[in-house]
């Protein structure tokens, strides 16, 4: 979906360390060296004015390469408890944008900027979109709507619980928009029926939030921030 929005994606051959001795851990030095070389190539080609890292494994080599090239770097920490990548990068980053207060115990205080997490601007006024959203998804305006969000890839345990309780929930006179994720869509699309919309990915998040009366969601940082804006139970 990102390339469709006009942004090119470049991948790095990098992964995190496991807690036990594995082949993946033995390959880590090679992966790191390769990713650093590729990051330098990306920096040279793209010529950015600033590089932002959000804490994934790929942020490490890329921000390291940017810093070595004299390009300002910014960390965007979305969680209340930072991961190891952001902790390591914080020592050299020019600024650290955080979503929550009291992160001085993890990051240099003088670099911290309290920004909150970025959210979709179209979520600011969703109530005015409710009728349009109900029509868009072919929902019954007289039924309560349960929205289930598992993230773009999907959340296995959430999907298992929804499948187990599906008939019980439908007996409560509700309708369901179930975003099961692209990894699990083939397994759960069989549950598509009159009052159950099973989808792998949602492009119009403003519509599903507007249509929903109750939301079940995995606790991703972006999802939590969006739910705070939306204000739905």
Contact indicator for 15, 28 with CB cutoff of 8 Å: yes
CATH of the domain at 61: 3.40.50.2000
- Rounded (to 5) percent helix, strand, coil in the chain: 40, 15, 40
Residues 107 and 150 in one domain: no
Range of the domain at 218: 121-230
112-114 β-sheet, strand order: 51-53, 73-77, 95-98, 112-114
pLDDT-wise least confident of 26-30, 49-53, 64-68, 229-233: 26-30
Q: How confident is the model at residue 64 (pLDDT cuts 50, 70, 90)?
A: very high
pLDDT in tens, 118-131: 888 889 889 899 99
The pLDDT assigned to 57 comes to 83
Name every residue whose Cβ is closer than 8 Å to that of residue 76 and which is 6 or more positions away in sequence. 52, 53, 54, 55, 97, 115, 118
Contact indicator for 94, 113 with CB cutoff of 8 Å: no
Of 97, 114, 131, the residue that ends a domain is 114
Q: How confident is the model at residue 1 (pLDDT cuts 50, 70, 90)?
A: low
Which residue do the tokens 């390469």 mark?
A: 65
Residues 10 and 103 in one domain: yes
Which residue do the tokens 């992964």 mark?
A: 15
Residues 58 and 79 in one domain: yes
pLDDT in tens, 146-181: 999 988 777 899 999 999 999 999 999 999 999 999
| Mean pLDDT, residues 209-232 | 91
Q: What is the rounded CA–CA span in Å between residue 151 and residue 140?
A: 25
Q: How many domains does the chain have?
A: 2
Residues 87 and 185 in one domain: no
Of 114, 132, 158, the residue that ends a domain is 114
Residues 192 and 171 in one domain: yes
The pLDDT assigned to 167 comes to 94
């Amino acid at each position: 979906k990102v390339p469709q929005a006009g942004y090119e994606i470049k991948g790095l051959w990098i992964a995190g360390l496991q807690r036990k001795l594995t082949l993946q851990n033995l390959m880590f030095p090679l992966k790191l060296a390769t990713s650093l070389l590729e990051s330098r190539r990306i920096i040279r080609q793209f010529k950015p004015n600033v590089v932002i890292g959000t804490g994934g494994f790929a942020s490490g080599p890329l921000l390291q390469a940017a810093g070595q090239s004299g390009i300002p770097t910014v960390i965007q920490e979305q969680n209340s408890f930072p991961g190891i990548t952001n902790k390591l990068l914080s020592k050299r980053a020019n600024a650290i944008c955080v979503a929550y207060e009291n992160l001085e115990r993890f990051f240099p205080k003088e670099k911290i900027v309290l920004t909150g997490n970025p959210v979709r601007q179209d979520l600011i006024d969703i109530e005015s979109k409710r009728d349009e959203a109900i029509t868009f998804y072919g929902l019954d305006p007289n039924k309560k709507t349960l929205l289930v969000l598992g993230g773009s890839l999907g959340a296995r345990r959430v999907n298992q619980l929804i499948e187990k309780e599906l008939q019980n929930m439908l007996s409560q006179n509700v309708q369901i928009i179930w975003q099961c994720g692209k990894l699990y869509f083939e397994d759960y699309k069989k549950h598509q029926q009159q009052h159950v919309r099973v989808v792998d990915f949602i492009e119009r998040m403003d519509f599903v939030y507007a249509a929903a009366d109750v939301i079940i969601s995995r606790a991703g940082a972006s999802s939590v921030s969006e739910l705070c804006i939306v204000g739905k139970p």
